[in-house]
Amino acid sequence: DAGVIQSPRHEVTEMGQEVTLRCKPISGHDYLFWYRQTMMRGLELLIYFNNNVPIDDSGMPEDRFSAKMPNASFSTLKIQPSEPRDSAVYFCASSLGAIYNSPLHFGNGTRLTVT
């Protein structure tokens, strides 16, 4: 299995622009998570899906952030408009079923820089 695939690996954009991050989870996994990693705040859970349905988006910082999962093999995280404080590494992770049976499998992340 190729693992969780994220694209792009790096994104540099100007303040005010729309940014879309993409994730392909491991085939068969029914949970998908979006995390944001910064030096100051560590790994923060933004939102997670179960069977393509958003379950908890309480970690989404504000309305500028939105996430979708149109099917079991694809998810997007969109920031519109982007701001410099959104600069971070964004990780997607997937897991299968109950937490005891399967750990979170992370992608290699997208490093976002907003200037």
Report CA-CA distances (Å) from 58 to 3, 48, 70, 77, 109: 27, 10, 20, 15, 21
**Tokens 């969109």 appear where?**
78
Q: Using the rule CB under 8 A, is 55 a contact of another protein?
A: yes
Q: Using the rule CB under 8 A, is 34 a contact of another protein?
A: no
Q: Using the rule CB under 8 A, is 108 a contact of another protein?
A: yes
Q: Using the rule CB under 8 A, is 90 a contact of another protein?
A: no
CA 24 to CA 64: how far, in whole Å?
22
Q: Using the rule CB under 8 A, is 41 a contact of another protein?
A: yes
Q: Using the rule CB under 8 A, is 93 a contact of another protein?
A: yes
Smallest distance, Å, CB 45 to another protein? 6
Q: CB atoms < 10 A from the CB of 26, how many?
A: 19
Q: Are strands 42-50 and 105-106 parallel, antiparallel or unpaired?
A: unpaired
For another protein, the binding residues in 56-85 under the rule CB under 8 A are: 56
Q: Which stretch binds another protein (CB under 8 A): 22-30, 42-50, 64-72, 74-82?
A: 42-50
Q: CB atoms < 10 A from the CB of 27, how many?
A: 11
Task: Please give the residue ranges that form the binding site for another protein (CB under 8 A).
Answer: 4, 31, 33, 35, 41-43, 45, 48, 50, 55-56, 91, 93, 98-100, 103-104, 106-109
